[in-house]
Amino acid sequence: MTQGEPAGPGGFFAVATAPVPGGAHRPLSRLYAGEDAPLTARVDTVAQRLGTPERRVAASVAQLGLASRLWSLALGPAALTGTFPDPRPELLCWDPGAAAPDDLRLDADRRLPGTADRIREAVLHGHLVPLVAAVRRDTRVSERLLWGNAGSALAGAAGQLTAWARTHGRPDAAARAGALAAGLLDDPLLRGTSAARGPGFRRRTCCLYYRVPGGGLCGDCALDHVPRGGRGAAGSA
């Protein structure tokens, strides 16, 4: 939610529209065009914080976090108000050294219709497609894994938004969030990311978090148990 919008879930759903004190934000369009140093620095930071020597693990976690932010800043307003702020890469700025929600800043507040088609165009194709390419320029990590992250991030954002909307007496917003997520997950890029058994989202890949020292399996992981050997075992990609 942008500054001045009705109260919403906050957190990953919030985006600043004014300069963040001490921020080093730069348009995401620069990353997508090949300015890879900020992403490299972000992956390095994540690896250090997680205590993992495996760069592909840190790259996966970094991309998953940014994908969650990108989905959330569109999905939340779309479900609650029927529109969402235009997140064009030249307007949406990222500070790779900042934690969410201070990592993103939007330099304008032009509104777009909150439909699955417009969110697909703006977020999936406008950001996630070039983000996957940027991550793979930096690190040898499976493209299939990264699209699994994108699907998981969308399902997670929708689940959080639905729970908040129901708790706060907004069944209309909960229904819209579910419908938007279902429509987006039906896109060819995301359609194969879930192997749900019953209700909910269960991904077909593993984000590799279990390979982090002290890590485990995520709630929607494709794995039923941590592979024998833990961090030293090969992960599902």
What is the residue-wise DSSP string for 108-172? ---EEE--HHHHIIIIIIIIIHHHHHHHHHHS---HHHHHHHHHHHHHHHHHHHHHHHHHTT-HH
Q: Which long-range contacts (CB under 8 A, 24 or more apart) does 202-207 make?
A: 203/148, 203/151, 203/152, 204/148, 205/142, 205/144, 205/145, 205/148, 205/149, 205/236, 205/237, 206/145, 206/148, 206/235, 206/236, 206/237, 207/60, 207/61, 207/64, 207/145, 207/148, 207/149, 207/152
The pLDDT assigned to 234 comes to 37
| Percent of residues, the chain, with pLDDT higher than 70 | 91
Reading the block at residue 44, the tokens are: 């390095």
* Residue 2, pLDDT above cutoff 70: no
Give the pLDDT confidence of 118-135 residue by residue, as tens digits: 999 999 999 999 999 999
Whole-model pTM over 0.75:
yes
Answer with the residue of higher pLDDT: 186 or 4. 186
Give the number of other Cβ atoms within 10 Å of residue 181's Cβ: 26
The pLDDT assigned to 21 comes to 78
Give the pLDDT confidence of 177-236 residue by residue, as tens digits: 999 999 999 999 999 999 875 558 999 999 999 999 999 999 999 998 998 665 544 333
Helix (H) or strand (E) holding 105: strand 104-106
Give the pLDDT confidence of 17-62 residue by residue, as tens digits: 888 777 789 999 999 999 999 999 999 999 999 999 999 999 999 9
